[in-house]
Structure 1
Amino acid sequence: MSKSKPPKTEPPKRVRIIGGHWRSRLLAVLDSPGLRPTTDRIRETLFNWLGQDLSGLNCIDLFAGTGALGFEAASRRADLVVLFEKDKRAYANLVNNFQQLQSSPVHGTVEILHGNSLDYLKQQANCSSNLIFIDPPFQDEVLLNHALMEAGRVCDDSHGGGIYVEFPSSRPREEVEALLPGWHCGKYLEAGQVKACLFRSGKG
């Protein structure tokens, strides 16, 4: 009588940090609806836009998920990176990813917070951050709208940085640009189902 083979289990998904101090380190990706880590290709393009050294910048990763954007910024010597996540499981995974990276600490400060990202952003002072990542679940268009409008108040990109946003390719770029008066989409990328803009104020 032959024994049945145990079912194959898929290895946990991971994404890698592209550059900087933590280059090639892997981040575990939680299997959760709506969680969509920024791809390697898009992150590589984004940090070519931003530059390889983010020294002096304070950053916020509003809907951190796996932490790919925020940890990438920390890896490139940002002074402060705050990663914010509402979902409890995603937050726990985010903390675990950071603990794994801490075997080789970076130059700046990394803070991981749990709660409502939009409420947190509303509490921030005007011009108190230099680089804000906004990549919420694609199905929540209203959340993206409110986050963008608050980010325009909070972000000061006069010394570099800007407001980075990802949104579905089905949404017109002009509609998103209209939410940030006084800012312009200085860099733009479309890849598959994703559109990405890096907004600049013209102060830098």
Structure 2
Amino acid sequence: MRIIAGDWRGRALTSVGKGDPRAHLRPTTDRVRESLFNMLGGGRFGEPFDGARVLDLFAGTGALGLEALSRGAEACTFIDDGRKAQSLLRDNIRLLGCGDRATLIARDATRLPKAEAACDLVFLDPPYGKDLGTRALHAARDGGWIAPEALVVWEESAPQTAPEGFALLDTRRYGDTHVTVLRTT
């Protein structure tokens, strides 16, 4: 895994091998991440990274949030309750030297504390097929984590419908990964 573009372009992230199935650690591949970020940065969704506050739910290795930081996001809060994921995240934050812009909260993404500041861009990559995405999205909204007009990027094994309070903007399929893009209404 590596950072695709931006300030840290080409920098390798800590290797996870094939992931950790018991912890549902399944990193987004470089190819999928590159396609996803090209779609987001292509102008259709404005400038989603420039100065954005980012929330990375079920963060795993943190590759999505770190890519956003590399591309100009102001700060990212990473949420994951897995010990292996937290260890990898800490290593990646240290590796990139972005501890001043990154916050790790060791917590279940469906039970979030109240936010100090709302986020403009949300990555949601729950364990596939466990029906946790909608619960995490509601917890983030109810906790004040999601700003009005925020962009939400949701990875799952199937396309997702927009929950109440969100509008569907786009869906894409990359192999067995489906990306659903939403905006808060």
TM-score normalised over the length of structure 1: 0.75
Aligned to 2:13, the other structure's residue is in SS state: strand
Q: Counterparts of 2:40 and 2:139 in 1: how far apart (Å)?
A: 21
1:63 corresponds to which of 54, 58, 61: 58
8 Å contact from structure 1 (residues 59, 131) kept in 2: yes
- C-alpha distance after superposition, 1:113-155 (max 9, x if no partner): 22222222x5237x811111110111421x2220123345542
Residue 190, structure 1, aligned to residue 173, structure 2 = yes
* Percentage identity across paired residues of the two chains: 33
Letter in 2 for 1:167: E
Aligned to 2:178, the other structure's residue is in SS state: strand
Deviation at 1:77, TM superposition (A): 1.4
- C-alpha distance after superposition, 1:78-130 (max 9, x if no partner): 1110112211122112101211111xx59x7111222222222x5237x8111
Compared CA separation, residues 181 and 48, structure 1 to 2 (3 A): same
Residue 130 of structure 1 is matched in structure 2 by 120
Figure out how many residues of one structure are paired with residues of the other and give that number: 174
Deviation at 1:49, TM superposition (A): 3.0
Letter in 2 for 1:115: R
Q: Counterparts of 2:77 and 2:167 in 1: how far apart (Å)?
A: 24
2:146 corresponds to which of 155, 165, 173: 155
Instruction: List alignment gaps of at least 5 residues for structure 2.
Output: none
Compared CA separation, residues 190 and 165, structure 1 to 2 (3 A): same
Letter in 2 for 1:138: Y
TM-score normalised over the length of structure 2: 0.82
Residue 47 of structure 1 is matched in structure 2 by 37
Map 1:1-40; keep pairs closer than 5 Å: 15-30=1-16, 31-33=19-21, 34-40=24-30
Q: Counterparts of 2:35 and 2:26 in 1: how far apart (Å)?
A: 17
Runs in 1 of length 4+ with deviation above 4 angstroms? none
Higher-Rg member (1/2): 1
Compared CA separation, residues 36 and 196, structure 1 to 2 (3 A): same
Residue 161 of structure 2 is matched in structure 1 by 177
8 Å contact from structure 2 (residues 129, 156) kept in 1: no
Letter in 2 for 1:43: R
Residue 107 of structure 2 is matched in structure 1 by 115
How large is the RMSD of aligned CA atoms in angstroms? Answer: 2.4
Residue 83, structure 1, aligned to residue 78, structure 2 = yes
